Amino acid sequence: MTPLPGRPGSAAGLGERAVPAAVRAVRAFVAAYGREPTLLVRSPARVNLIGEHTDYNDGLCLPVAIDRELCIALRRTDDVPTAGDATLRLVSEQDPAPAVVGLPPPAADTPPPARATGWARYVQGVAVQLAATGELAAIGELAGAGQLAGAGLVPWQGALASDIPLGAGLSSSAALELAVAVACTHLAGSVPAPTELARLAQRAENTWVGAATGLLDQLACVGGIAGHALRIDCRTLTITPVPLPAGLAVVVIDTGSRRELVTSAYADRRAECERAARALAVPALRDLEALPADAASRLDPVALRRARFVIAENARVDAVAEALARGDAEAAGRLLLAGHRGIRDDFEVSGPELDAAVAAAQAAPGCFGARMTGGGFAGCAVALVDRTRLDAFTAAFEPAYSARTGREAVLHVCSAVAGTSVTALR
């Protein structure tokens, strides 16, 4: 949930398209290392349509991997003895300081003050987790130890470019984690299952970075399917593709707002949900389809509101998935708006700009429904809009949002794309 390097303001709104991140990553690689990269890893952002704060309650969510991506152009450095030392080295277009991870990576119990800071900590955390699994070490022995360094990790150098807005709740951190994980496993000759990659990336975020997030972001990022939303069961880790109706535009509204201290509020919500589950004697709120009749006497008022939201939100995921599958955008939109009311009033993680964006979107022509998306408090809302009315939607939304907030929003009309991938450049 920490802002990562990218190009603030570069992510194109309606109309403008910047030079794609993939092209910028390749150029940055050549500029940094004076030779051509051999691989390109692409890792999408995600927007969650419904099913918010349900992942750590073992529940359901419905994200979409979107065509705002983080790219790493890279090349292994053990092919030319002089090309690099035994490190993973990643330069970024946004940060003059590269991320450098020595191989073998630090031990998993390295105390936090001795870990990298900022975005480099995510890169290091993934390497630490890969080394800790031991899985790559075994592959390393098969491939010939001489070619591998540091618990099976192949040294490489890379350049990163990103079109994912920073700190906006679109999972720039998960995109980076998965990109690094796919780069490393590909070079080691390993093709882990997407769920294993997601869990590894989550462990890096939870145990190394120190953000106690669920699995939504990583599963959405790695599991993306073009043209589809993903119904994710966070208990079984089953991903079911849900086709998005062709006439429906998924519009991500970056409200321009950002908040500090989101991490501590997130931890509070987790604790409140766990408290509610304990008081209701279930392993997780996922296990309830309705509040028991005596819930008000077993739960404090805060835990009662949190539980009420999570139970209703899980039900909304299936209802939205069914509505989308039958092409009923109006029903899906109504459910999104109900989800926003619940997360605002019962879960209490919305914010003034998010509420203003949802209200302005709902009132604009062509909008079926809107809600805040992601961890909350600030960042992005998502709207489902009639594709034929996008111009009218934008023309009405922008002044209405500015009048309410004094801010300019950036609209991203998004397509659903495939999850993190790696391709050979030559």
- C-alpha dihedral (60, 211, 200, 282), degrees to nearest 10: -40
Q: Find the binder of ligand GLA among 58, 135, 217, 254 (CB under 6 A).
A: 217
| CB neighbours of residue 129 within 10 Å | 24
List the end-to-end C-alpha distance of the chain, in Å, as a whole number.
Answer: 34
Q: What are phi and psi of 199, to 5 degrees?
A: -65, -35
- Indicate which residue of 58, 67, 163, 217 is catalytic: 217
Distance from the Cα of residue 45 to its chain's centroid: 5
Nearer to ligand GLA, 212 or 359 (CB): 212
Instruction: For the CB of residue 52, give the shortest distance to ligand GLA in the complex, in Å.
Output: 4
Total residue length of the chain: 426
Nearer to ligand GLA, 69 or 217 (CB): 217
| CB neighbours of residue 96 within 10 Å | 6
Q: Is 195 in the site for ligand GLA (CB under 6 A)?
A: no
Instruction: For the CB of residue 133, give the shortest distance to ligand GLA in the complex, in Å.
Output: 21
Q: Is 213 in the site for ligand GLA (CB under 6 A)?
A: yes
Distance between CA atoms of residues 145 and 348, nearest Å = 53
- C-alpha dihedral (162, 130, 216, 274), degrees to nearest 10: -140
Tokens 């290091």, residue located: 124
Instruction: For the CB of residue 282, give the shortest distance to ligand GLA in the complex, in Å.
Output: 19
Q: Is 379 in the site for ligand GLA (CB under 6 A)?
A: no
Would you call 217 a catalytic residue per the annotation?
Answer: yes
Q: Which residues between 120 and 139 bind ligand GLA (CB under 6 A)?
A: none
Instruction: For the CB of residue 180, give the shortest distance to ligand GLA in the complex, in Å.
Output: 17
Instruction: For the CB of residue 296, give the shortest distance to ligand GLA in the complex, in Å.
Output: 26
Assess contact for 28 and 162: CB atoms under 8 A. Answer: no
Q: Please report which residue ranges of 109-206 form alpha helices under DSSP H.
A: 120-133, 135-143, 172-187, 194-203
Nearer to ligand GLA, 159 or 176 (CB): 176
3-state secondary structure of 252: strand
Nearer to ligand GLA, 55 or 398 (CB): 55
Nearer to ligand GLA, 170 or 417 (CB): 170
Q: What are phi and psi of 334, to 5 degrees?
A: -60, -40
Distance between CA atoms of residues 331 and 312, nearest Å = 16
Q: Which residues between 338 and 377 bind ligand GLA (CB under 6 A)?
A: 374-375
Q: Which residues between 27 and 56 bind ligand GLA (CB under 6 A)?
A: 48, 52-53, 55-56
Q: Is 216 in the site for ligand GLA (CB under 6 A)?
A: yes
Q: Is 172 in the site for ligand GLA (CB under 6 A)?
A: no
Q: How many binding residues for ligand GLA (CB under 6 A)?
A: 12
Active site residues: 217
Which positions touch ligand GLA (CB under 6 A)?
Answer: 1, 48, 52-53, 55-56, 213-214, 216-217, 374-375
